[in-house]
Amino acid sequence: MRRFFGVISAAWVVLAWCWSADAQIGPPSRRPSSVPTRSRSGQFLVLSDLSPSEDRAPRPILVPIGSQRSVSLTPLRPLDSQGIATLSPPVISVACERIKTEVLRILKIDDGFSGSIVVRVYPADRQRSPAKIVATQFADGWRYTVEFQERVHWTLLVRTTVEALLLEIANRGNGGQLNPIPLWLSEGVTTLLIGESSRELVPQLNREFKDANRSMDPLVAIAAKTAGRSPLGFDALAFPGDAMVSDTNQFQLFQGSAALFVHHLRLKDGGPVCLGALVLAFNRSLNWQTALLKTYQAEFQSLLDIEKWWAVTSVAFYAQNASRFITPDTLDRHLRTILQETVEVARSTNSPLGRRVFRLSETIEQWPFAAQVPVLERKLTQLRYLSGLGSRYLSRQGGGDASPEMRLRFEQVRRLEEILDPYQRERSSPGNWSRRGDVDPRIRVLVQGAADRLRSLETEILGAR
């Protein structure tokens, strides 16, 4: 009989070990005082009223979520006047399942989770982070613990849960090093999700309600975050600095830019299905950059291709939404981008690829016209967007009321378009493509004239070479 009870006790210990995702070990006083709440799908186990013990199972790893967890967010649809949610197991259980449903909808993947997520709620404590994720490696894969203080901003609950879900999807069956989620993806998905579902994600006092003011148009949430500012470039999205994620104003621009990037990835061939495939590909790739190129290989051959595509996409969005907020500095930045072309070249046959920046005048003078065509088309598309933006801006300002700096920048846009547009049309006419042997003298005159005018504008905007 004693042996029988010993076996039963051992079995119960093993069961309790498996139940807790990070298998916290400690005396009975460190166990939760309330009954654990399991979510509908079974993926989330909510524990509350725990002591602040930090004992953890083997090999705990703090997921690199960055300083954005402490950013003060502007509430979109607050649950109360401060946008603070008071967390309880039933509220968290329902909220996590709603967030999970929306993440799966955005990614267009099935619910095939393999990693459980334990959610722990702690009393308010200034010494403790408002929210964090802990990933722990076991023999059969990774398990995740999300920790919240009992009163947090509702958007922080959503953002942290989204990141935990993306981690679980990206590391299914992964027995090796944890695959982190790039910040642009987690914040991009979260911003779209909040914009489309709003406060319906987090129940208030366990009451069901619909938010009549929400917009299913993702561009509405993106425009609210960017507030008329030009979206960040690809490098800033891919590698945000500490200053970006620690400043509330800058981080909102990052969130809006990331959401726009994710939204347009959803619009590529394959649509949302490819976005889900991207997250799943993290587990079979060296890093997220190679996963991105692998998933969208029909669209992009290199990160530079993505950077150029994003330059056109972001200026189009900016031109459509920024007529009230445009500044001379932003226009100057776009003009600088248009007047330069970055390419990947190797210095020798066996050397690695490096980046070289050509001015547009050099591109016209030195490159074969066939290589110029896609560059000219992309630059002219950006110029047309900026030209349309200028027309709307000057019309709203009454023409003469615009500042001298703004009039100068839009004049530079007009001059650049007047150089490139006729040059492209003339070079593209049937008889004007370069033939073998000597180049037609008319083409030489056309190229030289366009290059000289470009050099004058480049010196004015970029400075002397």
Of 270, 285, 313, the residue that ends a domain is: 270
Indicate the range of 132-146, 325-339, 396-410 predicted with least confidence. 396-410
Write out pLDDT tens, residues 318-340: 888 776 667 888 889 899 999 99
The whole-number pLDDT of residue 68 equals 33
CATH number at residue 218: 1.10.390
- Do both 390 and 457 map to the same domain? yes
State how many domains the chain has. 2
Q: What is the mean pLDDT of residues 136-149?
A: 86
Q: 225: which 2 tokens?
A: 């975050």
Q: Which of 17-31, 48-62, 204-218 has the highest mean pLDDT?
A: 204-218
Residues 269, 237: contact at Cβ < 8 Å? no
- Binned at pLDDT 50, 70 and 90, residue 364 comes out as very high
Write out pLDDT tens, residues 230-264: 899 999 999 998 888 888 888 989 999 999 999 99
The whole-number pLDDT of residue 150 equals 85
Residue 120 in any domain: the answer is: yes
User: What residue has token string 């702690």?
Assistant: 122
For the chain, the residue count is: 465
The Cα 305–Cα 373 span in angstroms is: 15
For residue 131, list its beta bridge partners: 148
Residue 216 in any domain: the answer is: yes
- Please give the residue range of the domain that contains residue 113: 35-270
- Do both 244 and 332 map to the same domain? no
The Cα 2–Cα 13 span in angstroms is: 17
Q: 366: which 2 tokens?
A: 């030195």
- Do both 125 and 205 map to the same domain? yes
The Cα 430–Cα 75 span in angstroms is: 58
Residue 265 in any domain: the answer is: yes
- Binned at pLDDT 50, 70 and 90, residue 227 comes out as confident
Query: How far, in Å, are 192, 240, 301 from residue 309 at the CA level?
Result: 21, 19, 12
Is the model more confident about 330 or about 68? 330
